[in-house]
Amino acid sequence: MSESANTFAHKGLSDRERLQWELLTSIGICNQLASERARQVLGEDLPLPLFSILNHLVRLGDDRTVTDLARAFQVQQPGMTKSVQKLLAKGYLRAEADPDDARRKRLFLTAEGRAAHDAALRRLAPDAARIFADWPTDELAALQKPLFRLRRWLDSHRNDAAAGEM
């Protein structure tokens, strides 16, 4: 597909608005395609949603509640509870009573959870290498900086659109 085939044609958009929409559309498509590749590689042993929770806890630290995770993933708490229960059943997380509120549970990665995360990364690494095989390191680094900037902005403005603060 040529680059021009990706152009979002809409007469009511300025050039800048069209470019912004094309970028967000491309990011969404990349997310969908990369997620599907990861699902195929991870298989049923550790489905992508469960891997994503482990990855979040490894990256940012554990000692979280289900509510914390639901907020971070922007999902409803019952759905996150179901995912956490699966991770607990696999022995990848352990739950402890919150010292400030015994009704609430704090979640911690177990050694098995860290090992499962590490094994998943080892399974994903060859595909990541294949995806970026033709990319020079300097281009990867150049792409990383604006993507991190976008991620930080989106993360710090999670509720703006829902609150009508546009």
Q: How confident is the model at residue 2 (pLDDT cuts 50, 70, 90)?
A: very low
Confidence (pLDDT) at 3:
54
pLDDT over 60 at 37, yes or no: yes
pLDDT in tens, 122-154: 999 999 999 999 999 999 999 999 999 999 999
CATH class as words, domain 43-125: mainly alpha
Q: Tell me the three state secondary structure of residue 99.
A: coil
Tracing tokens 């094994």 back to the chain, one arrives at: 119
Q: How confident is the model at residue 102 (pLDDT cuts 50, 70, 90)?
A: confident
Q: Contact 25/8 with Cβ under 8 angstroms? A: yes
**Segments making up each domain of the chain, as ranges:** 1-42, 43-125
Global pTM?
A: 0.86
pLDDT in tens, 52-79: 999 999 999 999 999 999 999 999 999 9
Q: Name the phi and psi angles at 108, rounded to 5.
A: -135, 145
Q: Contact 65/103 with Cβ under 8 angstroms? A: no
